[in-house]
Structure 1
Amino acid sequence: MSKTFEIIERVGISNESNSDAVKKVVMEANTEGGVSWFEVVEQRGRVTQDEKIEYQVTVKIGRKINA
């Protein structure tokens, strides 16, 4: 029996931390279908106009698809 997966790429954003941004984006994707794995491919941040830090992560998410 073969297994087939799809990979989606999403960007998560948080004002708390990189790990919070990852958790938010992965859990949101999980509501659409079972997440099998994820890979953080990029981390970055920015300073907002009101001098707050915004954490941003790009995440690849693997989900099993029914074939």
Structure 2
Amino acid sequence: MDDAVYKHINIVGTSIESIEGAIEGAVAKAAETVKNISWFEVVDIRGHIDGAKVTHYQVGVKLGFRLD
């Protein structure tokens, strides 16, 4: 395996469906402009509650990508 250099960025994904949906949406959107995404790390999870029901998920995600 060759040596590589990686960079990471922090983004926030949201979903009305699930935590997983928030992560997948964040990764998919970032992949539109960021090349070589290799890993993610969930750094925080938040949500909105309305009438004792979770109505929205918000997930902070760190994405790592290899520099060319």
Give the TM-score normalised by the residue count of structure 2: 0.83
Cα distance, 1:30 vs structure 2: 1.5
Q: Does 2:21 correspond to 1:20?
A: yes
Following TM superposition, the consecutive aligned residue runs of length 4 or more in structure 1 with deviations greater than 2 angstroms are: none
Partners of 2:49 and 2:13 in 1: CA distance: 16
Give the TM-score normalised by the residue count of structure 1: 0.84
Partners of 2:26 and 2:61 in 1: CA distance: 8
Gaps of 5+ in 1: none
Aligned Cα RMSD in Å? 1.7
Give aligned-pair identity as a percent.
36
Partners of 1:56 and 1:35 in 2: CA distance: 21
